[in-house]
Copies of this chain bind each other. A is one copy, B any other.
Amino acid sequence: LNEPLLWEKGKKGRCGFSLPECDVDEVSFEGDLAGDGPDFPDLSEVEVVRHYTRLSTWNFGVDTGMYPLGSCTMKYNPKVNERQASLTGFADAHPLLPEVRTQGALKLMYDLEHFLKELTGMDAVTLQPAAGAHGELTGILMIYAYHKKKGQIRTKMLVPDTAHGTNPASGALCGYTPVAVPVNGEGIMRVEDVRELMDEDTAGIMVTNPNTLGLFEENIREICEIVHDKGGLVYGDGANLNAIMGYVKMGEIGVDVMHFNLHKTFSTPHGGGGPGSGPVAVNKTLEPFLPVPRVEKIQDTYRLVTDYPDSIGRMMTFYGHFGVMVRAYSYILSMGAEGLKEASAHAVLNANYIKERLKDTFHLAFDKTCMHECVFSDARQEEDGVTTLDIAKRLIDYGFHPPTIYFPLVVHGALMIEPTETETKEDIDNFIDTLKAIAKEAKESPELLKNAPTRSKVRRLDETAAARKPCLCG
């Protein structure tokens, strides 16, 4: 079933909205500043409903099937949390209401901050950042403010070459030039490299742990010491927190500031690319620099406090993505400490199971126990002229979402698989068997992979043409 673009439908004069009668006089809006209103198509409600219903059927979500997108933690999103977020008291609350009338929301935020501190052993949290990258920016701004307060302008930032692109990009917004820390033969950073690269012009280091190879940075404590010794600070990227809940507290291993991806680790729907939420936790050193407003409890009353002279300021108009916080808070309450630890345990179990069962079929970048994800490559399939992209597209025909591909950059032709803890053994086995079948097809009839996908709404799309002659609106 096809479905035209919105403006290829409808007819002037239709409306899919219940326009209220106007119970006061008409007052015309006239003069130079008056316009004509937007040129939108006019649709009836049934047209709108069918349009988006059809569009939705062309999408693949977690409810559709396994979505092993590495470093994205596409776990199942509990339906009950949607109920909580849509409660009138939350969804229909204005952010500037008098504080006495918003105690429930403030308490929720206050408690959620506390939970995140417990999870990480950090000292203070801001929930304000809108997404992971926004949290990174917040963290780097705080590092910047910290050095500035000490009268220092540092110009560099250590960034391992396994890092997400957001790391160097966030650093750049504060004027930091990234300095690459190479990965060693074991897939992690060496102490010596950091010792060599770290100096007093360097603001600190940004570490993702476990890193994007799914490997725990075993030298993290020594690395943190080196950085601290040179007056630097350690930034922890929390994208992979789902691997270590209940096992490692970032605050205890030397991390000074870290962000969370609430939507990943705490199971809120990713919404086709957002909204996310990227709270930031800090230790005492950085606490004065947290964004305002902060939520505080003063004699049984929760308040929004802005009186922090060293604060980096506001990161968003209001208090962050409260709707996402509600879901994450609900998730943590549903799981409890044991449940969260078990989630990490099962996430790691699933990744290692996949690694073991597939390592004879696909080249394993680093053959050692992984955490919540494992990284293969197309090295063995290359000889048959088959690439990671082909393998990924072929998975679509079998009803799976492909893994993350061509990342991390340190692995040529990477296939980065993160099953998460919510997949059943049966689905994981099915996924493994499918990848084996695809590897066999790669040898025997590679054209099946080259032509894939064939069962989707569209076949492979011309991305080059899209970028060369951008057509961004209709």
Chain A interface (Cβ < 8 Å from any Cβ of B): 1, 9, 11, 18, 44-47, 49-50, 53-54, 57, 63-65, 76, 78-80, 334, 399, 422-426
Contacts and interface: CB of A to CB of B under 8 A. Distances in A.
Nearest to A47: B424
A54 B49 contact: no
Contacts of A399: 1
Given A18-B80, A50-B64, A53-B63, 14 more contacts: A1-B399, A9-B426, A18-B334, A44-B424, A45-B78, A46-B76, A46-B422, A46-B423, A46-B424, A49-B63, A49-B76, A50-B63, A53-B64, A57-B57
Contacts of A57: 57
A65 B1 contact: yes
Nearest to A400: B1
A67 to B, nearest CB: 11
How many chain copies does the complex carry?
Answer: 2
B64 A54 contact: yes
A115 to B, nearest CB: 19
9 A-B pairs closest in CB distance: A46-B76, A1-B399, A53-B63, A46-B422, A49-B63, A50-B63, A47-B424, A57-B57, A50-B65
A369 to B, nearest CB: 26
A9 B9 CA distance: 42
A149 to B, nearest CB: 47
Contacts of A78: 45
A427 to B, nearest CB: 8
A399 B50 CA distance: 12
Contacts of A9: 426
Contacts of A45: 76, 78-79
A399 B54 CA distance: 11
Contacts of A425: 11
Contacts of A18: 80, 334
A80 B44 CA distance: 14
Nearest to A455: B1
Contacts of A79: 45, 49
A65 B50 CA distance: 7
Listed residue (A1, A46, A79, A334) with the most chain B CB atoms within 10 angstroms of its CB = A46
A270 B18 CA distance: 24
Contacts of A46: 76, 422-424
Nearest to A44: B424
A18 B46 CA distance: 36
A8 to B, nearest CB: 10
A79 B53 CA distance: 13
18 contacts: A1-B64, A1-B399, A9-B426, A11-B424, A11-B426, A18-B80, A44-B424, A45-B78, A45-B79, A46-B422, A46-B424, A47-B424, A49-B63, A49-B76, A50-B64, A53-B63, A53-B64, A54-B64
